[in-house]
Chains A and B, each alone.
Chain A
Amino acid sequence: MINRYKLDVYLLGAAVVVVLAGIFTLYTQEYQLAEGSGRWYKQLIFFGLGLIICLGIRRMNYQVLEAYAVPAYLGSLFLLMLVLVFGATIKGAKSWFRLGPINVEPSEIARLATILLLAKYLQLKERDMGKIPTLLIAFGICLLPMLLIVVQPAFGDAFAFTPILLSMLFIAGADMYHIGSVVVFFSVAISVPLYIEYHNITLVDPLVGHLSDLGKTDLLPAVRLLKTDIWKFAAKGKIPVGIEGADKDYLVGLAGNQNLRASLVEAVNSVRSDSGGLLLRLLENDTLLLALGIFFALSALVLLILRLTQGTSLANLRKLYIPFGVIGMSLLSAVAVHTTFSFKYHQIARVTAFINPDRFPRDLAYQTRASRAAIGSGELSGRGIFQGDMTTGERPLVPEAYTDFIFTAWCERTGFLGGTLILLLLLSIPLRGMLVSFESRDRFASLLSAGISFMFFFHILMNVGIAVGLLPVTGLPLSFMSYGGSHLITAMVSLGILLSVARRRFAN
């Protein structure tokens, strides 16, 4: 419906409904308490403010933004550096400014500013999207704020830049081989070691069971002592630091004893192949990966040389040597990562606990389990608007029930029906944004609206994905719904820009 103000009601409407749903949820989370901190009306106030700002920005011509892209970007970098010095440390990260009653988070602002600059840059380099330097500079634009955020330290926020960058490159026409390569490379190089380490943790219990079944009870104390270090011990006889006295003597004796050592190794191997599977055995074999990696890398090199010497007639070889090269490099770096970095137990657990939260000790996987149970308890139509037990009160059983897990709170109250409804509304915002991007005549507008849509999309994906237990827990709030003035205002500003683009998309 195009009314005379050319207001895109779908966009605005969806956002407004979501915000109100959020405020309502916040209200129900506190209404029982005599002394609630009154989050819901604070949120309402910020919403009012944000709405005004949003509509105001909408009136502006977005092309003004194009002019101010670089200063905005630099300004956001400056703020990021400033927060490292003057910021307040909340939850272990210096990511917030405290300005009286209001908290401001510069990382959100940086994300918006980066998208702005990227849009401008990619529009300028429209024809050069196939060239490597373009990509590198685009990476660079993202890398600076990412590094500054990582220093805070806030890995979740920093990581959120990556999918936005990749999507913008994708939509701007970058060569898929290039992007794909980067994605594959990093995925493989990180996933393979993580996969191995994940199994190192979860295979300890089967090992204990296996040894008990065989009656090899003299080996059991070693496993109980070493836990996840048992694999290194079985392979190389390595005893970790921190084990002293009688325990250490026992382990040294065990390592020296040929028979016991052999039976331990045998037990380890059978457990790893039975419970871990063929894939694990393949992946943890460093020599195999090394050999494969070298094979792929060398063949890629050969193909590349062929192409360079023989000229453009063999341009199709590109389709071969890039993937080969990428696979080779990623296998090699996987081995490198696996052998050089020793991941600490809690790092691995944090990232992989969501796969099977019951295997991990209570506190590590607690958020995932609690959130899943809370969402699941909503069943079809919810437990009732005011019956959200797990997400209520000052210390709710699902932590961060007001912020990162607000979606959980909503689903507990409104069930599957309410959850899908709100998800639909939430996703309709980036979807509508894609439509705007599609219909825009101006390249900058397309890129900008796409970028903002991507930002919303990935925020929603990550937050909801965490809440339902499909992704590891990183602290990312849900746009429009999570409690927090800073996030709400930033989201409204982004929405305003989007509306501004939407308003003028048929122009030019």
Chain B
Amino acid sequence: MSRSASEFRLEQQFQTRVYIFTGFMILVGTVLTLQMGNLQLLHGAENRRMAKKFVSRQEFTVAPRGLILDRTTDPANPLVKNLITTDFVVFPSRFENLEEGKGYIREFCRIMGRNYANYEQYLTPEAWKVLVRRNESITLLTRMDTAEHERLGELRMVTEYGSFVTNHLRYYTMGPAAAHVTGYIGLPSRSELDRGLALPYQMLGKGGIEARYDSDLRGTDGVRIRHRFVDEEEQLAESEQGNSLVLTIDRRAQAAAYNSLKNSGRRGAVVAMRPSTGEILALVSYPAFDPNILSSGSADQRSRHTKTVQDYEGFLNLAIQAKFPPGSTFKPLVAIAALENSAENHVTEDTSFHCAGSWLLPSSVAGVPPARFNCWNAGHGTNNLIGAIAQSCTVYFYQLGYKIGPNAMIHFAKATGLDKKTGVDLPGEIQGFVPDQRWKQITWSSRWYDGDTVNLAIGQGFLEVTPIELAVLYSAMANRGKIYRPYLIKEVRDPVSNRVLRQVRPDLIHEVPISQKSLDIVQEGMRAVVSRGTAQHLNRPDYPPIAGKTGTVQTRSRIKAANHAWFASFAPYGAPIEEQIVVVVFVEFGMGGSAAAAPIAGDVFHAVFPDWTPTVHPQIKPDRKEETPPNGKPQ
């Protein structure tokens, strides 16, 4: 056909445009190919790795936690161990359909004697679909025993439809008796996760040694890669158990302390330690919690137990987290303070004051009459220092304190660390409180009165200490003023080879300069407490010779005469210091230190020295025959 010019132009334009568009197509094809090359050739390996990540799921195999042993280091009999339990689970995704799954579970119930109704929540179509989609399992049996394992053998296709899951459960062999020492484990809380202490699936130590040494106990988790579609697994790294910890705890002492305190029916704390090293043989706070329930119980059990414990404040570790006025247990330190400055105040062991049941504190403020301070009985008569300690004569110490003034007492109280943390390796320790003049001025906007001085002299008033601080003080008084840091961990050991990885050496923090002469006098006074004083009932032939001090602290409680009870002691008196132990007992509202606290200490000493006879230690000097009868006239 013929073409006109315009048609020709149109035709040209058309052809040009076809060329253009074809070129565009080729360009697009090239761009796409280039991008493909970019993804596949340039970044191919990277993408292959990323694809693997999409397709597989990385799982962690949880490492077993390290063991905690007591000082006997017997791995066969640990304080805290892991129990391996087996659960039996089935996977809904392995069944053809819901009906088949139901049938299988019915058969399971028949063979094992379980109630089908327990599993119905999983057997609705919606729940089943979710389980299939997420490839999750239904737990049919927990903590199987051998009998159940055998019976399960009758069930068919056990490995096709289900599998056995091993769990590591933590078991605390002493239960609540050592609860405040061991702590417990649990899943991390929100704030703990935020602080990066653990991953969401890991168990974290809470309180006590489990928390303080969590990094040692945790071990290293293994890594496993599981393919999403094909049933194949690859263990990339094996899990490694956490290190074993050897504690300084003596099981007998711990058990004796706990049981004795529990039988008293009151709240309280006991601390037993070695003054020569700082090792803690027992640390008890009652009431406690059951770490087994909290670590291994079901969510229901745990929350119920937690609520119960919170109601009676069982999570509070009274040994390190609560402070009280030490009462008469402070008097030996007052005596030391007096004796050390005898050049100024002329106080010697023979310094005596008379007690007629009460004493008048001279007034230092014009217009204010003198105040009457009472003793705890009708009157002790005149006593020297040792006798006053033995009888815990309050009036004597009022006068002694008034005589020497507050500065020496405050100095020694601070020097022996009564207002500082002891540094024990448990979390949550608080520090005690020693008042001084400056503090009083700032806090109460009034100056230090003589009344404060005399109150301080009998360990009341503003002074407050924790039981462990008192234990450190008495360790110092038994051990020539040496302050050792109290510690619970002796060794860290490798879980497989039992080789010692770390060993803790005694840590001498401070040495308070006290002359041997003063110490001898005060120690003799403390022995007199037991041999003829307020704690005579501990003076038994089947007990080692004990030296110590009773204490009764008046509280401002509404309940009439509700006093706290203390007993701070060390034994065997006269034995080499390496063999001695210090025991401090605190009983809340115990009424009388002698009646309530001292027997508990006695039980502890008896547990540590069970076969005591008087001939065991020939080095122990017999008591000096100091005859000061209770209502005493001096001899």
A residues with CB within 8 A of B = 32, 126-127, 167, 170-171, 173, 370, 372-380, 383, 389-390, 392-393, 395, 397, 411-412, 415-416, 419-420, 423-424, 427, 430-431, 434, 437-438, 446, 450, 457, 461, 464-465, 468-470
Contacts and interface: CB of A to CB of B under 8 A. Distances in A.
A377 B44 contact: yes
A376 B32 contact: no
B46 A170 contact: no
Interface in B8-63: 10, 13-15, 17-18, 21-22, 25-26, 28-29, 31-33, 35-37, 39-41, 43-48, 50-52, 54-55
B522 to A, nearest CB: 56
Contacts of A437: 18
A397 B22 CA distance: 36
A376 B51 contact: yes
A376 B40 contact: yes
Given A372-B39, A389-B229, A416-B41, A464 B51 contact: no
Contacts of B43: 376
Given A380-B40, A437-B18, 17 more contacts: A170-B17, A171-B18, A372-B39, A373-B50, A374-B54, A377-B48, A379-B41, A379-B44, A379-B47, A390-B55, A416-B41, A431-B22, A434-B22, A438-B18, A468-B36, A469-B39, A470-B35
B14 A390 contact: no
Contacts of A373: 47, 50-51, 54
A184 B45 CA distance: 40
B50 A393 contact: no
B50 A468 contact: no
Contacts of A411: 36, 40
Q: Is the interface of A mostly helix, strand, loop or mixed?
A: helix
B349 to A, nearest CB: 64
A470 B48 CA distance: 19
Contact of A438 (B15, B29, B55): B15
A260 B470 CA distance: 53
17 contacts: A372-B39, A373-B47, A373-B54, A375-B39, A376-B48, A377-B47, A378-B40, A379-B45, A390-B54, A412-B51, A416-B41, A419-B40, A427-B28, A431-B26, A434-B25, A468-B39, A470-B31
Contacts of B6: 127
A411 B37 CA distance: 11
B36 A420 contact: yes
B173 to A, nearest CB: 46
Interface of B: 6, 10, 13-15, 17-18, 21-22, 25-26, 28-29, 31-33, 35-37, 39-41, 43-48, 50-52, 54-55, 133, 228-229
B51 to A, nearest CB: 4
A400 B161 CA distance: 30
A78 B22 CA distance: 35
A376 B44 contact: yes
A427 B21 CA distance: 13
B70 to A, nearest CB: 48
B7 to A, nearest CB: 9
Contacts of A395: 133
Contacts of A32: 229
A427 B40 contact: no
A427 B29 contact: yes
A397 B52 CA distance: 11
A397 B55 CA distance: 7
Contacts of B31: 470
Contacts of A423: 29, 32-33, 36
Contacts of B40: 375-376, 378-380, 411, 415-416, 419
Nearest to A427: B29
Contacts of B10: 126-127, 173
A374 B39 CA distance: 9
Contacts of B52: 377
Given A416-B41, A423-B33, A423-B36, A376 B25 contact: no
A16 B26 CA distance: 22
B18 A431 contact: no
A191 B13 CA distance: 31
B50 A377 contact: yes
Contact of B17 (A171, A375, A468, A470): A171
Contacts of B51: 373-374, 376-377, 389-390, 412
A158 to B, nearest CB: 22
Contacts of B41: 379-380, 416
Contacts of B46: 376
Nearest to B41: A416
B312 to A, nearest CB: 36
5 closest Cβ pairs, A-B complex = A376-B47, A377-B51, A379-B44, A376-B39, A377-B48
